[in-house]
Amino acid sequence: MKFFVDTANVDEISALIPSGLVDGVTTNPSLVMKSGRDFREVVGEICALVDGPVSAEVTGVESEQMIAEGTSLAKIADNVVVKLPLTWDGLVACKALTGEGIKTNVTLCFSANQALLAAKAGASFISPFIGRLDDINIDGMDLIREIRMIYDNYDFRTEILAASIRSANHVKDSAIAGADVATVPPSVLKGLAAHPLTDKGLQAFLDDWAKTGQNIL
């Protein structure tokens, strides 16, 4: 499974790069608003930091505007992925941009039928929103499993990007269900390494080592 960091905070991304665990980045208008910075400038800086895909979202609601915005965003850097809403106009824009060789991430997916249409339109990524489905008492993992089965049935190349992830369990369950990518906030990515028994075991080793009076260096 690949990990994309879900943030528009350049400092947070920079801090995570040395781990080697950042395969890409996803942003959206809300995250850019929180950063308080110029949108294109932020996207450009992130693209320079990360070798993998960087999703930048259009704000138009009609296909023609989405295509124009997507074409413009793709010029920022070679690794920009144009993020489009899963609406009919978004699907039309996805088909057009894909035809121009521009990678796309179709977002706000809440059903397997939507995911099927996105794959048919040539989407590079589909972003089912797990957490938001859980909020209305629908198991988001069921959606991941359904999409995985449909894509495997027809050999679609669209990658499943599990989004709206809020916990370590969401990441684990998405991996088990067959998602290709998990996009996570920095705090969730860091939290995947945490376990109380690891901390307890490490402290016991350190205590015993201290008793030896030795130094490795």
Residue recorded with tokens 């030896």: 212
Residue of 2, 83, 95, 190 marked active site:
83
- Find the largest Cα–Cα distance for the chain: 71
Output the six-digit token pair for 187. 């705090």
User: 152: part of which helix (H) or strand (E)?
Assistant: helix 140-154
Give yes or no for a contact between 43 and 55, defined as CB atoms under 8 angstroms apart: no
Short-list 159, 136, 115, 149, CA closest to 1: 159
Catalytic annotation on 83?
yes
Q: Which residues are catalytic?
A: 83
